[in-house]
Amino acid sequence: MRLLIVGGSDAGIQAGLRARQRDPSAEVTVLVADRYPNYSICGIPYHVAGEVPDWHDLAHRTRADLAAAGLDLRLEHRAVRVDTAAKQVDCLDGAGGTRRFGYDQLVVATGALPARPPIGGLDQLGPAEGVHSLHTIGDTLALTDSLARRQAGQVVIVGAGYIGMEMAEALRTRGLGVTVLERLGQVLPATLDPDLAAEVQATLHRHDAAVHTSTPVQAISRPGGGLVVQGRGAARWQADVVLVVTGVRPDSRLAAQAGLRLGVAGAIAVDRRMRTSVPGVLAAGDCTVTYHRLLESDTWLPLGTTAHKQGWIAGETATGGTRQFAGSMSTQVVRVFDRVVAATGLRDQQAAEAGFDPVTVASVADDHKAYYPGASPLQVRLTGDRRSGRLLGAQLLGHLGAEVAKRIDVLATAIAYRAGVADLGDLDLSYTPPLGSPWDALQHAAHAWLAHAGTAPAGRPV
């Protein structure tokens, strides 16, 4: 069986490895558009910060690992055309030639592309001028080169999503001046409610990163040696380097050419076994729609964790497996300096749109017993359905070291099993004074929610 995979990042590589695990006789070829297969894109900010000095270390696996696992990688092979009838893919190779690959099963894992927001001048400016996007290892090397070459002192980051937050930290860690400009009224608008977002913004300010929300960028220009970022009215920011990280869009160009049906947000439509509308063609990762475990419908939620799982399922399907992708709940965590932000599931508006009657209740409890040194407040926002009492989503904000990441995982697990908010109080969670409380902060939050939502007798854990 010839399995051809277009894309050498998380989804593509997982598909290939899983296929080879299940069928060691599979001939797996991976067409990689650039020279950087299987890199941890999520690790880029930590290289830029200097915490991971050698960018090669960001590789999930070495090329030798991938070869040993039976993956035939073709670097600088950009797929440009799929003939699904003839089962062939045409590529441009690095030397300017054209190559054709036949397949029995094809996995399209072309990932995402940076969004290009409507900012004047942006189309005329690029890395050569110090204006960068940040989505690939190539982008990363261009950025670090730019920072060094320009002896950059000031960077403007356009976009306060999680990459904007991570890059603000990274560049401050590098000692640079940082200003973050966000069009919407808060940081992390896709992740957090405004009150927690305000605390994240305060964290950035404490670490001397300026943040301006409700600040759309109108234009970027390069009048002299440096860059000028223009906001509304007379607002101007000078910068040596500008980083535009305003989100991504699915790269479904190849899929569209191939005639695959597209779905939500223009991503490739797939079923829960990652099958596209065309037999023999699978797709996985950021280029595809994302089945949502709680909404039980398709969304588009590009995340590395999801890409891994979808790729894994594509590898199963390609080799005759029947396991389904269980779905995403948009579980996320991001470290911002000495704080950790995490979220899973639905927020009020999404939940209401999905027909729930959402109630969100905020509470605060110590991460561990207050008498033990180092206790810190953990902020919890739980969203539940007033009618059914079902847990729908959660947002956490706490200190680094307060086990915020795995606490959101507890909630993600509960939501996956359709837990009620009240059920959280029943969970047999672990406790030792340096690491928790007899009622964990999550259980405090659950009882606070119940007291407020009135679906159960009032009262907080005591």
Residues 365-424 that bind a copy of itself (CB under 8 A): 369, 371-373, 401, 403, 405-410, 412-414, 416-417, 419, 423
Residues 30-49 within binding reach of a copy of itself (CB under 8 A): 40, 42-43, 46
Residue 410: C-alpha distances to residues 84, 393, 394, 403 (Å): 43, 12, 11, 11
Read off the tokens for 326: 């269980």
| Residue 239 found at the interface with a copy of itself (CB under 8 A) | no
Q: How far is the CB of 340 from a copy of itself (least distance, A)?
A: 7
Q: How far is the CB of 400 from a copy of itself (least distance, A)?
A: 8
Q: How far is the CB of 20 from a copy of itself (least distance, A)?
A: 9
Q: Of 296, 302, 304, 293, whose CA–CA distance to 329 is shortest?
A: 293
Q: How far is the CB of 49 from a copy of itself (least distance, A)?
A: 10
| Residue 435 found at the interface with a copy of itself (CB under 8 A) | yes
Residue with tokens 């401050």: 172
Contact code string over 307-346 relative to a copy of itself, x by CB under 8 A: xxx--x---x----x----xxxxxxxxxx----x-x-x--
Of positions 35, 57, 195, 206, contacts a copy of itself by CB under 8 A: 57
Rg (CA), the chain: 23
Total count of residues recorded for the chain: 462
Choices 11-19, 127-135, 185-193, 234-242; region in contact with a copy of itself by CB under 8 A:
11-19
Of positions 141, 304, 354, 399, contacts a copy of itself by CB under 8 A: 304
Q: How far is the CB of 279 from a copy of itself (least distance, A)?
A: 22
Helix (H, G, I), strand (E, B) or coil at 158: strand
Residues 185-214 within binding reach of a copy of itself (CB under 8 A): none
Our CB check for a copy of itself shows the closer of 133 and 331 to be 331
Cα of 4 vs its chain's centroid, Å: 26
Read off the tokens for 147: 């920072």
| Residue 461 found at the interface with a copy of itself (CB under 8 A) | yes
Q: How far is the CB of 420 from a copy of itself (least distance, A)?
A: 11
Q: How far apart are CA 347 and CA 394, in angstroms?
A: 8
Q: Please work out, in degrees rounded to the nearest 5, the angle formed at the alpha carbon of residue 131 by the alpha carbons of 119 and 253.
A: 70
Q: Of 240, 83, 103, whose CA–CA distance to 177 is shortest?
A: 240
Please report which helix (H) or strand (E) contains residue 144, including its range: helix 137-149
Q: How far is the CB of 50 from a copy of itself (least distance, A)?
A: 11
Q: Of 150, 242, 165, whose CA–CA distance to 199 is shortest?
A: 165
Would residue 53 be called left, alpha or beta, if left means φ above 0 and alpha means ψ between -120 and 50 degrees? alpha
Residue with tokens 């991570």: 166
Q: How far apart are CA 225 and CA 129, in angstroms?
A: 9
| Residue 296 found at the interface with a copy of itself (CB under 8 A) | no
Our CB check for a copy of itself shows the closer of 306 and 360 to be 306
Q: How far is the CB of 161 from a copy of itself (least distance, A)?
A: 13
Of positions 14, 246, 310, 363, contacts a copy of itself by CB under 8 A: 14
Of positions 215, 306, 350, 363, contacts a copy of itself by CB under 8 A: 306
Of positions 102, 280, 433, 454, contacts a copy of itself by CB under 8 A: 433
Q: How far is the CB of 347 from a copy of itself (least distance, A)?
A: 16
Read off the tokens for 281: 């063609």
Q: How far is the CB of 329 from a copy of itself (least distance, A)?
A: 5
Residue 167: C-alpha distances to residues 53, 78, 358, 398 (Å): 15, 29, 33, 20
Which amino acid, residue 223? P
Q: How far is the CB of 251 from a copy of itself (least distance, A)?
A: 20
| Residue 286 found at the interface with a copy of itself (CB under 8 A) | no
In this structure, what DSSP letter does residue 328 have? B
| Residue 58 found at the interface with a copy of itself (CB under 8 A) | yes
Q: How far apart are CA 14 and CA 263, in angstroms?
A: 23
Of positions 123, 208, 296, 428, contacts a copy of itself by CB under 8 A: 428
| Residue 91 found at the interface with a copy of itself (CB under 8 A) | no
Q: How far apart are CA 51 and CA 224, in angstroms?
A: 33
Of positions 4, 8, 9, 18, contacts a copy of itself by CB under 8 A: 18
Q: How many binding residues for a copy of itself (CB under 8 A)? A: 81
Read off the tokens for 356: 């729930």
The bridge status of strand 248-250 relative to strand 112-114 is antiparallel
| Residue 298 found at the interface with a copy of itself (CB under 8 A) | no
Whether the CB-CB separation of 415 and 361 falls below 8 Å is answered with: no
